[in-house]
A and B are shown apart, each in its own frame.
Chain A
């Protein structure tokens, strides 16, 4: 755990006052004038009061935060317990977590020695990441605001910021099931059966439009009936950049692709499918998602991944996906080779290829 950092510095107002005070003191020294001396004293007095009364035990505050799992950009309320282990009362402290709280700060009016205070912070983690410790900044400029004292509170807790979920098109998810003929008796089928409405797209067949509902809403909506999903579905998440392309480009596409992968896996898992995930990065990672625990592991993994330089696939790496009836392929790094997708026997749905 990193050591807390403490700083004690003049604020911009304090700088101005200190310069004025130095000027007056210099004038008093050069001229021996009593008025200049009085001016220097009047200017220095608030500066000194602020220095003497400044709360100095900020670094002795400890914080407790429960482990947190969130999606990038999703707002959440964090409960923080602050405990003042020092002997001095802290006043008017501003609490700030640069990682999650952006520009918003929370004011702690006073924190008595030995007391614990519970705060609710409105946070939002915007960057996909996985941290094992969180850093809170505690700052106070009490009483007069000429000096600012800051301390960083390092809390050993886990913060997993999963990829921001992407809204997938219905036809993408249904690509797995649409090929199957509709069963006669749906009650015997495994998995959740879902019937819903969605906006009608101009290029679609008009026979699927729900006439009554469209008339009621005033816009064309069509019926969507999810069909049977296969028991196991393959997902290839390719993090490799195209040959010769730098790793630093294509960040938005990369993040979108990870969000799409996360949303797809969640959707499929909610419909009782099991997903075998192959992640092509600097080395190939294998995941099998059949329940919440594996889903959490996969999301943690997705929170950590980065784009990798291009490399050829190992021979036979796709063999474990050959048994699946359907596969999704997400070229997150921006590289897509049809030679590689052809290696899979079943149908392959490529997500995000048009973004390249």
Chain B
């Protein structure tokens, strides 16, 4: 066999690496090991029994029995799977069955099974680049090894395995692997350009995530706001602009709504006592400002997408310039009547958090249901948590202790909590491991625990933080990426005081991740890294934008589809080193002959040329010897020795004696 030999062991190694990486990518809490075994071991067992059960119906029966038994066993050993995990994993058994069904040696099917397992992990856990990239590399090497195996098998005509020398397919596979990973990224970016039936191309993906270089947070919840609007309806980079009378606070909360009626999956607004007030001429003063506390004024400008909402900061005293306004001043909730959409209005407010006022709870809210708990609510695990954390002291201390406990127990992640329980909040608090959630889960958990501790509270929702406006420290803009939820506790003389149980680092993270921060230079604590950040961010921006990738892909396809070219035949390119001096001498002879009026015509062979010279009676014996010598060297593979050199030199001397064409003409 005149072929290089491929490598079987490398293919197998990479296949198993891909399988292991795919299994590692499965999140352990959502996929406990009994369930993992239940989904994978029956197929493996079936593969091991392939010689015992070859009939298809017997294999199918065996697969059903094994799978059912494994699932029943897993149900007894472990808790039931969460719904998304169960749904995602339903593809595993049929895939495993298809993989082992008579195709035991096919690497591609094994790879596809590992791809499905990887995808389950991605669905449950999100994309993990540190696992995804090695998987792509391992899968590419395995694919390359298998392609070589197939070629070798075809070449040798054998049907069994081909024993090969290790390493022959490795260099090309190592080149292909990063290319494959880069192309996967490029295709993913390019696909992001395509419009989807279920998603407006210009809108922000819900539930947090990044798309088109923009980081968003949003609230992918079903919490209803009165008036038919949901907070998730707040879509857009710029929803509200705030202009303050002094430097704009960086941690400004703008409430657009609240929730009082608790639930394990959704909170509701509750009863409202609505009044109408014309604020066009005169401000609606719904709370008297406290003396000794600075009264701040802000001007809010709502953009398209947020004009239904009226945003007020906690501690607001009055609103002006919005026309007819519906509202419940006690609950600090306001809306414009349907059909009205005022763009700008003024709000006066006080920051009573640091005021030297007593921290006395407003007990009147107990009667209004701010201590209510969800219906059909099993308090036991929550009481266990309170017993563990032991929140004591006043309401403020209790709130801080609960916030600290939540931060220690749960992880912030912009994905829905998953776990064995039926309710999101229970999964957030009591899943076996990896308890994660976002601001709404932190706020609702804290609110329920506070109410169980005897502190009346509600959930406030709206915008938080915002982004500075370039060259204007008094202004900030807010977009849907600043949507947020927090807890508000009613205090006497202070009103609704914000208590935010979401970890502070996570609250501000969205703003820091923004790529279009034009005024970061005005940040107070700027480091060298921050100065370099815009350049790096521009590069990152460019890399994450889909257009360059799409163009690069199109270019690559166009270049590779270009028809293959024939190698250009340079004159003398195929000459051997020995033929070159002979050719040089022959060229001199031919030039001299051309100067004498006997040029060699285009396309004329040397033999034809000699025949033409004979007809003109200028044939020289030296010339024939020279041509013969040249052709022996050029085509006969003979050496250009002294005899042939002498023949060519003799011809050169002979043609030199011929008269020039001009001389002939003169004579």
Binding site for B on A (CB under 8 A): 13, 20, 25, 28-32, 34-35, 37-46, 48-49, 51-54, 56-57, 59-60, 85-88, 91-92, 94, 103-109, 113-114, 119-120, 141-145
Residues of B within 8 A of A41 (CB): 184-185, 187-188, 191
**Does B608 interact with chain A (Cβ within 8 Å)?**
no
A87 adjacent to B564 (CB under 8 Å): yes
- Which of A32, A88, A107 sits near B564, CB closer than 8 Å? A88
Residue of A with least CB distance to B108: A13
**Does B196 interact with chain A (Cβ within 8 Å)?**
yes
B196 adjacent to A49 (CB under 8 Å): no
23 contacts between A and B (CB under 8 A): A30-B198, A32-B198, A32-B199, A37-B192, A38-B188, A40-B187, A40-B191, A44-B184, A45-B183, A45-B187, A46-B143, A48-B557, A52-B560, A53-B176, A57-B564, A57-B565, A103-B157, A107-B151, A114-B567, A143-B176, A144-B140, A144-B176, A145-B150
Closest chain A CB from B57 CB (angstroms): 25
Once A45-B136, A145-B146, A145-B147 are accepted as A-B contacts, the answer to whether A51 and B557 lie under 8 Å apart by CB is yes
In chain B, positions 91-121 with a C-beta closer than 8 Å to chain A are 108, 112, 115, 119
Closest chain B CB from A140 CB (angstroms): 9
Residues of B within 8 A of A35 (CB): 119, 122-123
Residues of B within 8 A of A57 (CB): 564-565
- Which of B2, B4, B115, B144 sits near A106, CB closer than 8 Å? B2
Residues of A within 8 A of B115 (CB): 39, 42-43
**Does B172 interact with chain A (Cβ within 8 Å)?**
yes
The 3 closest A-B pairs by CB, nearest first: A32-B199, A32-B196, A57-B564
**Does B53 interact with chain A (Cβ within 8 Å)?**
no
Q: Considering the chains assembled together, what is the distance between the CA atoms of A88 and B560 in angstroms?
A: 11
**Does B127 interact with chain A (Cβ within 8 Å)?**
yes
Q: Considering the chains assembled together, what is the distance between the CA atoms of A34 and B127 in angstroms?
A: 10
Residues of A within 8 A of B209 (CB): 34
In chain B, positions 1-47 with a C-beta closer than 8 Å to chain A are 1-4
- Which of B4, B176, B191 sits near A28, CB closer than 8 Å? B191
Residues of A within 8 A of B181 (CB): 45
Binding site for A on B (CB under 8 A): 1-4, 108, 112, 115, 119, 122-123, 127, 136, 139-140, 143-144, 146-148, 150-152, 154-155, 157, 172, 176, 179-181, 183-185, 187-188, 191-192, 194, 196-199, 205, 209, 553, 556-557, 560, 563-567
Residue of A with least CB distance to B201: A32
Once A142-B147, A145-B146 are accepted as A-B contacts, the answer to whether A25 and B191 lie under 8 Å apart by CB is yes
Q: Considering the chains assembled together, what is the distance between the CA atoms of A13 and B560 in angstroms?
A: 21
Closest chain A CB from B286 CB (angstroms): 43
- Which of A44, A54, A103 sits near B187, CB closer than 8 Å? A44
B127 adjacent to A53 (CB under 8 Å): no
A141 adjacent to B563 (CB under 8 Å): no
A107 adjacent to B3 (CB under 8 Å): yes
Residue of B with least CB distance to A92: B151
B196 adjacent to A29 (CB under 8 Å): yes
B191 adjacent to A120 (CB under 8 Å): no
Residues of A within 8 A of B184 (CB): 41-42, 44-45
Q: Considering the chains assembled together, what is the distance between the CA atoms of A41 and B119 in angstroms?
A: 12
Q: Considering the chains assembled together, what is the distance between the CA atoms of A41 and B148 in angstroms?
A: 24
- Given A37-B191, A39-B119, A105-B157: 17 more A-B contacts, CB < 8 Å: A32-B196, A32-B199, A34-B209, A37-B192, A41-B185, A43-B115, A45-B187, A46-B140, A48-B183, A49-B176, A92-B151, A104-B157, A120-B2, A143-B144, A143-B172, A144-B143, A145-B147
Q: Considering the chains assembled together, what is the distance between the CA atoms of A87 and B119 in angstroms?
A: 41
A141 adjacent to B147 (CB under 8 Å): yes
Closest chain B CB from A353 CB (angstroms): 42
Closest chain B CB from A151 CB (angstroms): 10
A60 adjacent to B564 (CB under 8 Å): yes
- Which of B108, B147, B188 sits near A37, CB closer than 8 Å? B188
Residues of B within 8 A of A108 (CB): 3
Residues of A within 8 A of B112 (CB): 20
Residues of A within 8 A of B176 (CB): 49, 53, 143-144
Q: Considering the chains assembled together, what is the distance between the CA atoms of A40 and B172 in angstroms?
A: 24
A45 adjacent to B180 (CB under 8 Å): yes
Residues of B within 8 A of A52 (CB): 556-557, 560
Residues of B within 8 A of A29 (CB): 194, 196-197
Q: Considering the chains assembled together, what is the distance between the CA atoms of A339 and B191 in angstroms?
A: 85
A46 adjacent to B564 (CB under 8 Å): no
- Which of B122, B154, B564 sits near A94, CB closer than 8 Å? B154
B122 adjacent to A49 (CB under 8 Å): no
Q: Considering the chains assembled together, what is the distance between the CA atoms of A144 and B2 in angstroms?
A: 21
Closest chain B CB from A16 CB (angstroms): 8
Q: Considering the chains assembled together, what is the distance between the CA atoms of A46 and B179 in angstroms?
A: 9
Residues of A within 8 A of B199 (CB): 32
A85 adjacent to B567 (CB under 8 Å): yes
B187 adjacent to A34 (CB under 8 Å): no
B3 adjacent to A42 (CB under 8 Å): no
B198 adjacent to A113 (CB under 8 Å): no
Q: Considering the chains assembled together, what is the distance between the CA atoms of A105 and B187 in angstroms?
A: 36
Q: Considering the chains assembled together, what is the distance between the CA atoms of A107 and B153 in angstroms?
A: 10
Residues of B within 8 A of A49 (CB): 140, 176, 179-180, 183
B197 adjacent to A32 (CB under 8 Å): yes
Residues of A within 8 A of B196 (CB): 28-32
A48 adjacent to B122 (CB under 8 Å): no
